Amino acid sequence: MGLTLKAHGKINLTLDVLSRRPDGYHEVEMIMQGIELHDTLQIEALPGEIILTASGLPVGCDENNLIIKAARLLQQFSGTGWGARIHLHKEIPVAAGLAGGSTDAAATLVGLNELWQLGLTQEQLSELAVKLGADVPFCLRGGTAIARGIGEKLIQLPPAPKFGVILVKPSFGVSTAEVYQGLNLNNLGRRPDLAAMVEALQTGSLAAVSEQLANVLESVTLRLYPELQEIKETLARAGCRGVLMSGSGPTIFGLTEDAAAAAVLARQLTLPGCQVVATAIF
Ligand code: ATP
């Protein structure tokens, strides 16, 4: 018996950093949004070992892969004698700010909880998820949510309008830790207005949502990689209504009225060396 699961990526519609905690983590406040773009996991239960293979975009299948980490964590927590054979088809760009690894980890927890018949509650899965990464609890459920704490304190919002989304991922990746290290809490640039974004999402207006897009991590990543500013300008000139960096970057996304408009616009873009993907709010 096996399971096939879609593991959706995310973008951040807002991202604010409130403080640095004594343990080195940052208190954040953000609106996370699931996107159609997804990896696919095929999972089969087998006794004992965890075997991971992959296709699609290149990604390592060793012990550093969050899928293996998630499976081992669940084995330890539950004491089960079960293992699994997992095949990952990778479509979400890696080290991109799109929660690619986090969403694979979340899908692994959900899939194995079912296949191994562990009966863990959403709350128990959430507690395991945050041990794997700050974005993993959000990825368990996806959709649209306010995230606080290090990202694990979630308030689910009504589904967002199904705008189109163009993702532009430059050839380089960005280390989230490095971006946070470079952050000056006294000089964050434009801060998001969370309440105004929640209201804009309720109106369903692309113009209103676009106006409220803001991410304080742009102040660091755009300084480190000035070419990201050019990508933002290219997307805006091409007709994207709102343009922002996702997470700690380097992916820049642009919003359009719907998925069809994103597909048309993406085909017209010439951005050498960049991966360009047309997708939509999920
Ligand atoms: P986030 O937005 O959650 O910070 P990200 O999109 O910036 O994540 P990922 O794609 O998750 O970044 O990759 C970050 C690192 O995690 C990479 O160095 C990658 O090698 C490693 N990694 C481990 N497991 C996976 C996986 N299943 N898919 C992608 N990357 C993985």
DSSP letter string, 50-80: EEEEEEES----STTSHHHHHHHHHHHHH--
Paired with 42 in beta bridges are: 4, 87
Which residue's CA is the closest to the ligand 1 atom numbered 12?
A: 95
Beta strand segments in 99-222, E? 144-148, 153-156, 164-169, 214-215
Between the CA of 26 and the centroid of ligand 1 the distance, in Å, is: 19
ipTM for this model: 0.93
**Contact yes or no for 146/28 (Cβ under 8 A):** no
Tell how far the Cα of 100 is from the centroid of ligand 1, in angstroms. 5
In short, whether 244's Cβ falls inside 6 Å of ligand 1 is no
| Domains along the chain with CATH numbers | 2-156 (3.30.230.10), 164-280 (3.30.70.890)
In single-letter form, the type of residue at position 191 comes to R
Contact criterion met (CB below 8 Å) for 118 and 82:
no
Q: Which residues are catalytic?
A: 10, 135
Can you give the pLDDT of all 282 residues of the chain as single tens digits?
799 999 999 999 999 999 999 988 999 999 999 999 999 999 999 998 999 999 999 999 999 999 999 999 999 999 999 999 999 999 999 999 999 999 999 999 999 999 999 999 999 999 999 999 999 999 999 999 999 999 999 999 999 999 999 999 999 989 989 999 999 999 999 999 999 999 999 999 999 999 999 999 999 999 999 999 999 999 999 999 999 999 999 999 999 999 999 999 999 998 999 999 999 999
Residues 6+ apart with CB under 8 A from 173: 94, 95, 96, 250
Q: What share of the chain is helix, strand, coil (3-state, %, to 5)?
A: 35, 30, 35
> Is 101 annotated as belonging to a binding site?
yes
Please tell me the distance between residue 99's alpha carbon and the centre of ligand 1 in angstroms. 6
Query: From the CB of 222, is ligand 1 less than 6 Å away?
Result: no
Asked if residue 238 belongs to a known ligand binding site, the reply is: no
Sign of CA dihedral 42, 130, 9, 92: negative
Q: Does the annotation place 111 within a ligand binding site?
A: no
